[in-house]
Structure formats: structure tokens, C-alpha cells
Amino acid sequence: MRTKKMQSILAELNDSSADIDASAIISTEGLMLASVISGEVSEDRAGAVMASISSLADRAMREFQLGSLEQLVMKGHNGYALMIQAGEYAALIVIGYGDGPEWSLALLRSIPAAGAISDLLTPGFGWSMEGPVGIPQGSI
């Protein structure tokens, strides 16, 4: 049930802009919870890489006394990757291929989606730091 809701949020986000090519929800441990990613990108590798980058960025934020990480923007010659915290235990990843300022519009469209994902994964509703708790397999 939750997986379908998360997939729906991701599909709606991807459809909201031609500049968004892929999106995913990963746990803080790098577990892929849901994704709308092309076949060219390894979901497992993407989840692990983004969790590692998120951990390092969060460490830097705390070292600089800026608080915990909320958003991360990575821009390269061929596109961008955004990471937006979606509650305490997950993050929304958004990827776009292009060389313009599309990432700023994608970020604005992604913030409400991250909020909706956070609501789905709120502790007390079958989610803990260790992962799904007491939920039938396939429902998240």
C-alpha cells in the first residue's frame, strides 16, 4: 500500500516537469524504498551512493554548526541531482539531465513531494529506524 503511494508521488513529481528524469526514495541506510528510474541507473548503487553522500554532507553541516542536512544540490556538466530529507529516516532523490537552471524548478516541485513522503513514513505508522515494523511484506 505505501509502496504504491510512494510510487504515485514519484510518478506525479516526474510528470510535473520535463526536466525531472528520475526520482527515488531511499532510507538513511541506502535502502531503495521506491523509484521511478530508467533502466540505465542501478537502483541499489544509486541508493548506496546517495546515502553515503548524505551522511558526509550531514557531518559537514554539523561541523559547520549549520544544523542537520535538509537539502543537497549537486550540479554537473550533464545535469543535476537533488536530495531532500523526507522525514527522519528517508530522503527524496531527484535527477535531471540538462545544462540549464532546471534544478531550481525541480527543487521547488520536490519539496511538497518530500513532505508527502515524510507523512507516509512517520514513526508510529509502521516505520522505525530499523525499517518496516509489523507491516505485511509488499505494503512498503
For 84-95, write each residue's pLDDT tens digit: 999 888 999 999
| Cα gap 86→70, rounded to integer Å | 9
The larger pLDDT score, comparing residue 107 to residue 102, is at 107
Among 10-14, 21-25, 26-30, 91-95, whose mean pLDDT is lowest? 26-30
Report helix, strand or coil for 15.
helix
Q: 46 is written with which cell numbers?
A: 544509486
Say if residue 43's pLDDT is above 90: no
Q: Are 134 and 126 in contact (CB under 8 A)?
A: yes
% of the chain residues with pLDDT over 70: 84
The mean pLDDT value for 44-61 works out to 88
pTM of the model: 0.81
